[in-house]
């Protein structure tokens, strides 16, 4: 029997493209113009030295500027301009990425207001708030207690220690629906800058001055607190080493050129080669074209854009390392309730007892649930309507009905109307009720109950007593006597409904080499049934916080990176231990402090997309690094023949692009080297297309696309540029 899957209410799916790409926001051309002033400011050597590759380019640009002033020519000044543009375009890539974050920070600043707080003096739990002093929110310290009433702004991050209130958090989450915050439990955390809509709460401030949640969000999305990740640092070291290698290789060109010129005295001088060797401008142009300027220019923008893609989905990453770790995750721990299932049990099937029709059972189940406002009760009414076409009735339509509410003692609920009593509830309770009224439940009903329990569902038995004379029923739950006929009508199958598309998402995870583990407090039998239906790889049943922590440590000891979600104080140790710990914004302050990401939408399912964004970040960085190194090959074929073909005519065979002249060949390579940075900014910000697949297939695809593309594209680009600039003065 197939089980229905429903979309989680209140959680719109995160944006995903039809082609499987994790969407990342488009580049507004206006951002290039708006980011230009920041790019110019980044030309300051005190700022640029942090990027070794581009710092070398800037030094080269400054050196060639001096040479161009000393020996001016169109070729020299054109080369100088494009070398400076190379540095500027690299700064522009980073400035555009940071500019997107600054736009989001401006929105956050709008939520951060100069709020006046009422600081309570001498507050004690349970004691009435008798006095307070008025202070600015910035003067509040950790541990201060404030009182906030309806219509007021919460002055700082903290935990509700008294009261319950409806809070508008739209300034932080963008969600207009208010949320309930109350003392105790996992819904006690409040965020500064949000507004209390009703009632009154007492809040204990947990933040230090200037370190509120909004302050940290602003700093992170602006990039002010962005620290380079270990992988980014390692790649920077590699790029710096390659730069040194190419610097030494370029320097050795000069003695070779002087010697070659001396043994060929009849060769005329050119702008590229004279008796004194290769000109300084050409040497710098060669160095800039050979070092990995493309990835050096885009590396920082790729990291910032990765965090930006999370912010677009209302996820705040506390560090770039967390985003990177998400891309390397190999084990996902997912809570069953709210993540894999809808969180509320839903009516899936009506199983009638022998001699009872399904329609009769459905009508009785609906009737007994009309006054049941629980999610389970509402789902019974809806299922009867959808599956059997029964009109949904309101309790008010049954004017003479006597409703029997659910209690912990009776463990059942129902209605008495027109001489008929109907009850639904726990199997043992309803069957005892039927026996007490003279009925005899059949063994088949017990078998149905056992089968539903064995499949991981929850059975609710429906029973009735009919033919009761008025006044003889003794009330909704009183004795009926012998006038009635009691019987069991059948069983309602309640089950945790797996969210729509979860099985497919877990299949994607499996193709990516990620193991999924469902965490639940259910018994092993129920847990296995839900795990099989959802398609997870493993499950942990009857899980305690200690069990979660032990499982994470066990996975990490095997060399795997672990991601998990949590919202309660009891989840804090596991969130802190996990490599990627995503805390829900509705959770406690302890959980948010322990995790390295916070989901402002409090949607646990988003963990899967966070992993995909992390993988996209790593793939983008690897693909553009491959492209950057591969496109050096075409520059060899452009510049080396241009420098030495006059003294070694055989090198002209390397001029496969048939470039017009040595000057146009060198300038074309420099121009392409600068333009390709601007051309790749949208890809760096949006991210390389990512489809769930295993690592070897992704590597093969990216090597073919970006490795081979990095070889072919420069040949085409340099040749097209040469066809244009060969007509400029001094190019032939």
- Is 294 a known ligand-binding residue? no
Q: What is the rounded CA–CA span in Å between residue 612 and residue 329?
A: 10
**For the CA atoms of 619, 50, 249, 68, what is the dihedral angle to 10 degrees?**
120
Q: What is the SS3 assignment for 260-274? A: HHHCCCCCCCCCCEE
Tokens read off for 19: 């082609």
Q: Is 497 helix (H, G, I), strand (E, B) or coil?
A: strand
3-state helix, strand, coil in the chain (%, to 5): 50, 20, 30
Taking a C-beta distance cutoff of 8 angstroms, is the pair 203, 132 a contact?
Answer: no
- Annotated binding-site residue? 406: yes
The answer to whether 342 and 497 have CB atoms below 8 angstroms apart is yes
Q: Is 409 annotated as a binding residue?
A: yes
Pairing label, strands 331-335, 458-466: unpaired
Is residue 372 a known part of a binding site? yes
335 given a catalytic annotation? yes
CA distance 221 to 239: 26
Q: For residue 559, with 0-12 CB atoms within 10 Å meaning exposed, 13-18 middle and 19 or more buried, which class applies?
A: exposed
Establish whether 567 is an annotated binding residue: yes
**Among 159, 215, 335, 601, which one carries the catalytic annotation?**
335
Rounded distance between C-alpha atoms, residue 97 and residue 685, angstroms: 7
Binding site annotation covers 564?
no
CA proximity to 314, closest of 24, 602, 659, 701: 602
Rg of the chain over Cα atoms, rounded to whole angstroms, equals 35
In angstroms, rounded to a whole number, what is the distance separating the alpha carbons of residues 476 and 416?
Answer: 6
Sheet with 580-584, strands from edge to edge, namely 315-317, 597-599, 580-584, 562-566, 331-335, 515-519, 538-540
Cβ-contact 410, 477 below 8 angstroms: yes
571 is in an annotated binding site: yes
Q: How far apart are CA 631 and CA 160, in angstroms?
A: 58
| Helix H or strand E segment including 15 | none
Residue 528 marked as a ligand binder: no
Residue 276 in marked binding region: no
- CB-based contact 145:161 (threshold 8 Å): yes
What CA–CA distance (Å, rounded) separates 330 from 684? 25
Does residue 408 have a known ligand-binding role? yes
Q: According to the annotation, is 274 in a ligand binding site?
A: no
- Residues 559 and 553: their CA atoms lie apart, in Å, by 10
Alpha-carbon gap, residue 678 to 676, rounded angstroms: 5
Known binding site for ATP: residues?
Answer: 372, 376, 406-413, 424
Known binding site for Mg(2+): residues?
Answer: 567, 571
Residue positions annotated with a catalytic role: 335
Known binding site: residues?
Answer: 372, 376, 406-413, 424, 567, 571
């Amino acid at each position: 029997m197939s089980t229905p899957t429903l979309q989680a209410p209140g959680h719109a799916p995160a944006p995903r493209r039809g082609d499987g790409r994790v969407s990342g926001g488009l580049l507004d051309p206006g951002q290039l113009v708006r980011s230009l002033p920041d790019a110019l400011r980044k030309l300051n050597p005190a700022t640029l030295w942090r990027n070794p590759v581009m710092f070398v380019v800037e030094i080269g640009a400054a050196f060639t500027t001096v040479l161009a002033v000393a020996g001016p020519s169109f070729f020299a000044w054109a080369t100088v301009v494009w070398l400076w543009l190379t540095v500027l375009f690299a700064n522009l890539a980073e400035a555009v990425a940071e500019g997107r974050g600054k736009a989001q920070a401006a929105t956050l600043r709008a939520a951060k207001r100069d709020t006046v707080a009422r600081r309570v003096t001498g507050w004690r739990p349970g004691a009435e708030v008798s006095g307070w002093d008025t202070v600015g929110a910035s003067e509040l310290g950790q541990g201060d207690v404030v009182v906030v009433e309806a219509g007021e702004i919460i002055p700082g991050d903290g935990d509700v220690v008294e009261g319950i209130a409806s809070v508008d958090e739209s300034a932080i989450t963008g969600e207009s629906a208010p949320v309930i915050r109350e003392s105790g439990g996992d819904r006690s955390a409040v965020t500064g800058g949000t507004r209390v809509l009703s009632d009154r709460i007492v809040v204990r401030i947990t933040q230090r001055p200037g370190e509120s949640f909004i302050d940290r969000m602003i700093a992170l999305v602006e990039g002010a607190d962005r620290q380079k990740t270990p992988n980014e640092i390692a790649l920077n070291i590699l790029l710096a080493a390659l730069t040194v290698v190419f610097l030494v290789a370029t320097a050795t060109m000069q003695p070779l050129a002087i010697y070659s010129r001396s043994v060929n005295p009849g060769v005329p001088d050119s702008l590229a080669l004279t008796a004194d060797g290769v000109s300084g401008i050409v040497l710098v142009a060669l160095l800039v074209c050979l070092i990995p300027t493309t990835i050096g220019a885009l590396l920082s923008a790729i990291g910032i854009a990765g965090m930006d893609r999370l912010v677009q989905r209302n996820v705040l990453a506390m560090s770039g390392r967390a985003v990177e770790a998400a891309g390397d995750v190999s084990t996902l721990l997912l809570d069953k309730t709210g993540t894999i299932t809808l969180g509320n049990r839903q009516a899936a099937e009506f199983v009638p007892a022998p001699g009872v029709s399904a329609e009769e059972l459905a009508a009785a189940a609906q009737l007994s649930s009309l006054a049941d406002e629980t999610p389970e009760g509402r789902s019974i009414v809806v299922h009867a309507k959808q599956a059997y076409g029964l009109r949904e009735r309101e309790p008010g339509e049954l004017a003479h009905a006597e409703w029997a509410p659910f209690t912990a003692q009776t463990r059942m609920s129902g209605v008495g109307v027109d001489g008929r009593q109907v009850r639904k509830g726990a199997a043992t309770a309803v069957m005892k009720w039927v026996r007490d009224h003279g009925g005899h439940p059949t063994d088949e009903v017990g078998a149905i109950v056992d089968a539903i329990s064995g499949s991981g569902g929850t059975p609710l038995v429906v029973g009735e007593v009919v033919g009761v004379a008025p006044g003889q029923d003794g009330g909704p739950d009183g004795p009926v006597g012998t006038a009635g006929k009691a019987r069991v009508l059948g069983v309602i199958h309640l089950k945790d409904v797996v969210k729509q598309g979860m099985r497919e998402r877990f299949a994607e995870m499996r193709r990516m080499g990620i193991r999924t583990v469902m965490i639940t407090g259910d018994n092993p039998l129920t847990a296995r049934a839900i795990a099989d239906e959802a398609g997870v790889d493993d499950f942990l049943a009857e899980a305690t916080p200690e069990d979660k922590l032990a499982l994470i440590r066990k996975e990490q000891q095997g060399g795997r990176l672990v991601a998990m979600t949590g919202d309660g104080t009891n989840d804090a140790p596991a969130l802190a231990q996990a490599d990627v710990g995503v805390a829900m914004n509705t959770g406690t302050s302890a959980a948010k402090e322990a995790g390295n990401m916070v989901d402002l939408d409090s949607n646990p399912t988003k963990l899967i997309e966070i992993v995909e964004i992390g993988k996209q970040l790593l793939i983008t960085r690897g693909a553009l690094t491959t492209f950057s190194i591969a496109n050096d090959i075409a520059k060899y074929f452009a510049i080396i023949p241009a420098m030495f073909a006059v003294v070694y005519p055989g090198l002209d065979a390397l001029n496969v692009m048939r470039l017009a002249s040595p000057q146009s060949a060198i300038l074309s390579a420099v121009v392409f080297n600068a333009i390709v940075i601007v051309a790749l900014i949208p890809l760096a910000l949006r991210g390389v297309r990512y489809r769930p697949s295993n690592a070897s297939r992704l590597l093969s695809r990216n090597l073919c696309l970006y490795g081979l593309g990095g070889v072919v594209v420069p040949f085409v680009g340099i040749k097209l540029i040469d066809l244009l600039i060969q007509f400029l003065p001094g190019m032939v």
